[in-house]
Amino acid sequence: MENSDLKRFLSLVPVDHFERYAANITSDSFFGFPLKPILEVEEHLLAADQKSVGYFSMEYGLSTNTYNPFGSKIPVSEKNSSAGHHIFSNLRAMDYYLVVDAPHRLDLPIYSGGLGVLAGDTLKSAADRGVPLAAVGILWNKGYFKQSFWFKDGQVPEETDWEPSSFPGLVPLETHVDINLKKEIIRLKLWKYFVYSYDKKHVIPLILLDSNVPENTPFTQKLTGQLYKSDNAEWKILQRIILGIGGMKALEKLGYQLNRYHLNEGHAALAFAEKALNKKNPEIDSLKNHFAYTCHTPVAAGHDRFNKKTLEEILPDDIFSLIKKFGSDSGNRDLINLTEHAMNTCHFVNAVAAKHGEVTRLQFPDFKDRIQTITNGVHAHTWVSKPVADVFDAYPKELGDWRQSPMRLKNALALKENPEFRRALWNAHDTNKKNLSLLLKNWRIEPGVFTIAWARRIAAYKRPSLILQDVEKILEIARRVGPIQIIFAGKAHPKDDLGFTYVNEMLSRIDSLDKNRDLVRVLMLENYDTFFGKLLASSVDVWLNNPLPPFEASGTSGMKAILNGVLQLSTLDGWVVEAADKNIGWIFGWEHHGSEIGDERNLRLKEDSDALYAMMENAAKLYYATNLKEGVNFDSDWITKMVHCISEAGFFNTDRMVQEYQTKIWGF
């Protein structure tokens, strides 16, 4: 009986070189997790009369280091624990190296930032809700990149090296697929990873495509090397061919009977062309009803455009003619535009926040009637800190089973006047902040000092250096109100020269505060990842979000912060627009209105940094009026704002988002 479960597993998931995995996969256990849910979902996905979704994404941030970590009975390669972090600060003499405990470093390196984290959170919530879904992505053999700081040199990108064959929970399959191009065949080996629900009762299979096999040429082997490597256009096109065409072929080869395909961003647009191959026009039209596309970017450069000629040289004529038909760029007939391809072929199109919906309709007026809005979220179980989760658990009457239904967090408002709840919430935050201070003690981070973090991808429109525009003003505020700590983290894409310049500029401004370290301490952490994302978003007092409106589609790190009662200091953009009147912090700066999208290069640094300093002073005043020397003022409006943050987290989570996908897009 028991043994037959392992047999069933191996017939459903034919693991290549099973002997290497035999210690970790038994009749009832998959790397320490129950095996049964895998059998159930795999059988469901194979059954023709069931409803199920295929989900495509270029990247997945699964935070395998902080949430539902698999165990392993065989040694895990040292390479899979990403190394320590340098920290750059205005205490230069203190330039220690930060080493984080090994279990916290086992991060599946197949993501770069927010898009991947959203895809990962989507899979986790789909698992929590028991949605039958098979996901496809790419096994990035060289990850994204490892960021190193060198004084006066800024960011120096280094290659990530890791070992998929010993990564817990990841298994190679005997299955492969071939993509036939005009001049060569790309062979893709398939891997599987399983994303479990919070209660381990359901699971989502994630199929990862890998071109690093001996049958391919050395060039082709490297295509699934580094995520978002953009050295030349051909390279980028081939990566999109692998995800879209290879991904669709993989789902079919595995025999999955899917009736919805969901493209997370336009990278996977070619999946439709693959599916439409050899079909007649009426069939192709009805196929569109099975495709959905989530658009994530309002920045022009974010939409993939490729030279038609280059695509024509690579792809066989039959598939190229379909791509030409659906993806010709409306502004330049020599280009293929993957965003337009996706909009033309997916019946369901959604933007990722209300404001982003407005902007997307301006950008693509031809499609405006079809563009819906489903606001992004975060996976509550992944991003809530233990001390805060313990507080939620202590109020079952109001917050109910928030694990099953994060929506219940809305009821936190009913506890707004409850003195025990207010005290518990503040104390949980205090515990988080003390832990952070302990980790960063070499840099003299203190739990009693007003602390702000800015941590996200370093891109021009996100304005990483806004708060450092005039360091004199920060010092003045600190002299008037009290000391200030600012923590930065973020990677700039290796080919983003502007982002690179920002890192340099920030490092030298931080350095210029060298003499005032008693008043203002500024830190920049190397190698931002989901571990630091969770640590910072749950432990600082204020989360700074200062993109130039309207260029932040949604943003999700602030959602991690509100879930932990961390207040927002934000411009009016992305998800924040929907919560701006909900008393979750402070809004400042230039606002976008009207029907012109505007120029993303006009960063408005002077006016918006002045507005930021004014609001930051208000925030610092309230902080020091709450965290008094003689004790905490539990009646403070600061704590009321914390409660409002938690309540809003009842909306800004992926459980609610996936539920909207189910009712508005997938239809089950």
Ligand X SMILES: *Cc1c(COP(=O)(O)O)cnc(C)c1O
Question: Does 550 sit behind a cis peptide bond, omega within 30 degrees of 0 on the bond before it?
Answer: yes
Strands 53-56 and 85-89: unpaired
Considering only residues 555, 585, 589, 650, which one is a binding residue for ligand X as defined by CB under 6 A?
Answer: 555
At position 625, the amino acid (one-letter code) is A
Smallest gap from Cβ 550 to ligand X, in A, equals 15
Smallest gap from Cβ 502 to ligand X, in A, equals 14
Pick 143 or 555: Cβ nearer ligand X: 555
Considering only 245-253, 275-283, 556-564, 583-591, which stretch makes contact with ligand X by CB under 6 A?
556-564
Considering only 111-119, 202-210, 390-398, 598-606, which stretch makes contact with ligand X by CB under 6 A?
111-119
Q: How many CB atoms lie within 10 A of CB 353?
A: 25
Nearest to 107 by CA among 132, 153, 140: 140
Smallest gap from Cβ 102 to ligand X, in A, equals 19
Smallest gap from Cβ 485 to ligand X, in A, equals 20
Smallest gap from Cβ 456 to ligand X, in A, equals 3
Considering only 112-120, 160-168, 220-228, 324-332, which stretch makes contact with ligand X by CB under 6 A?
112-120
Pick 456 or 463: Cβ nearer ligand X: 456
Q: How far, CA to CA in Å, does 54 sit from each of 47, 205, 271, 284, 519?
A: 14, 10, 11, 18, 53
Residue 202 interacts with ligand X (CB under 6 A)? no
Binding mask 489-528 for ligand X (x = CB under 6 A): ---------------------------------------x
Smallest gap from Cβ 557 to ligand X, in A, equals 3
Cα–Cα distance for residue pair 345/282, rounded to 1 Å: 13
Pick 402 or 551: Cβ nearer ligand X: 551
Residues in the chain: 668
Smallest gap from Cβ 113 to ligand X, in A, equals 4
Cα–Cα distance for residue pair 178/195, rounded to 1 Å: 26
Considering only residues 109, 114, 132, 565, which one is a binding residue for ligand X as defined by CB under 6 A?
Answer: 114
Smallest gap from Cβ 459 to ligand X, in A, equals 9
Considering only 102-110, 262-270, 419-427, 550-558, which stretch makes contact with ligand X by CB under 6 A?
550-558
Residue 556 interacts with ligand X (CB under 6 A)? yes
Q: How many CB atoms lie within 10 A of CB 156?
A: 14
Taking 3-state DSSP, the helix, strand and coil percentages for the chain, each rounded to the nearest 5, stand at 45, 20, 35
Residues 6 or more apart whose CB falls under 8 angstroms from that of 108 comprise: 60, 62, 64, 167, 170, 193
Tokens 């800015």 identify what position?
Answer: 454
Smallest gap from Cβ 61 to ligand X, in A, equals 6
Q: Which residue, judged by CB position, is nearest to ligand X in the bound state?
A: 533
Smallest gap from Cβ 652 to ligand X, in A, equals 12
In the region spanning residues 429 to 458, those forming contacts with ligand X, defined by CB under 6 A, are 456-457
Pick 33 or 528: Cβ nearer ligand X: 528
Strand partners of residue 34: 29
Pick 221 or 568: Cβ nearer ligand X: 568
In the region spanning residues 521 to 540, those forming contacts with ligand X, defined by CB under 6 A, are 528-530, 533
Smallest gap from Cβ 394 to ligand X, in A, equals 27
Pick 132 or 377: Cβ nearer ligand X: 377
Tokens 């990530």 identify what position?
Answer: 160
Q: How far, CA to CA in Å, does 429 sit from each of 48, 434, 454?
A: 49, 9, 18
Kindly determine how many residues on this chain lie close enough to bind ligand X according to the rule CB under 6 A: 13
Rounded (5°) CA angle 200-202-206: 105
Contact of 544 with 569, CB cutoff 8 Å: yes
Cα–Cα distance for residue pair 266/337, rounded to 1 Å: 9
Contact of 146 with 157, CB cutoff 8 Å: yes
Considering only residues 66, 197, 546, 557, which one is a binding residue for ligand X as defined by CB under 6 A?
Answer: 557
Q: How far, CA to CA in Å, does 105 sit from each of 26, 77, 83, 534, 569?
A: 26, 12, 8, 13, 29
Binding mask 457-486 for ligand X (x = CB under 6 A): x-----------------------------
Residue 329 interacts with ligand X (CB under 6 A)? no
Sign of CA dihedral 460, 462, 464, 465: positive
Considering only residues 113, 143, 169, 549, which one is a binding residue for ligand X as defined by CB under 6 A?
Answer: 113
Residues that bind ligand X (CB under 6 A): 113-114, 117, 456-457, 528-530, 533, 555-557, 560
